Amino acid sequence: MTLPELHVSQWFNTDKNITLASLLGKVIVVEAFQMLCPGCVLHGIPLAQKVAAAFPKEKVAVLGLHTVFEHHDAMTPVSLKAFLHEYRITFPVGVDAPGEGPMPKTMQAFQMRGTPSMLIFDKSGSLRAHHFGDVSELLLGAEIATLLGQERETSLTASDVSIQPGCGEDGCTI
């Protein structure tokens, strides 16, 4: 089985090119967001920051992924850099590589439905959860702890909230 991988054109908050493969052995939480998506700013990113603060870095890796699928010229890497600075986001954030359509590559590969989306990979690099929209902190904590206690498994769980098309306080959909 081939493990999934991120497609990133540029990283912020890190000197290295980060891959999921390089993080094997840790639970990996990927927060996919757009800097002008209100639901990302109000809920998704603060939650990712809480995860980064609550769990030790050597056990849980938190990554941001800037998955721009609309208003591309409004959310360039130059704007993203200032956004990360002003919102004090310190975990590594990758720019999802441009795809053939409006949706960037990683977003398409994982069939994300919009932003914010959260992907959780287990210690062996398998995708174990894929959330879209608002996420329960209690259940997210439970999910991460379960993966921290486990070795390789293969099932994929998914939980979603239904979100109207367009951008609302909860998120942006394609």
| CB closer to its own copies, 17 vs 150 | 150
| CB closer to its own copies, 54 vs 174 | 54
3 state DSSP class of 99: coil
| CB closer to its own copies, 51 vs 65 | 51
Taking the complex as a whole, the smallest distance from the CB of residue 77 to its own copies amounts, in Å, to 10
**Rg of the chain over CA atoms, in angstroms?**
15
Burial of 120 (0-12, 13-18, 19+ CB in 10 A): buried
Taking the complex as a whole, the smallest distance from the CB of residue 132 to its own copies amounts, in Å, to 17
Q: Which of 35, 7, 47, 49 is nearest to 133 (CA)?
A: 47
Beta-carbon contacts of 160 under 8 Å, excluding residues fewer than 6 positions away, are 113, 131, 132, 133
Binding residues for its own copies (CB under 8 A): 36-38, 41-42, 50-51, 54-55, 71, 73-75, 78-79, 81-83, 85-87, 136-146, 148-150, 167, 172
Taking the complex as a whole, the smallest distance from the CB of residue 117 to its own copies amounts, in Å, to 17
| CB closer to its own copies, 5 vs 169 | 169
Taking the complex as a whole, the smallest distance from the CB of residue 19 to its own copies amounts, in Å, to 26
3 state DSSP class of 74: helix
**Residues across the chain:** 174
Alpha-carbon gap, residue 66 to 70, rounded angstroms:
12
Q: Which helix (H) or strand (E) holds 140?
A: helix 137-148
| CB closer to its own copies, 10 vs 79 | 79
Taking the complex as a whole, the smallest distance from the CB of residue 5 to its own copies amounts, in Å, to 27
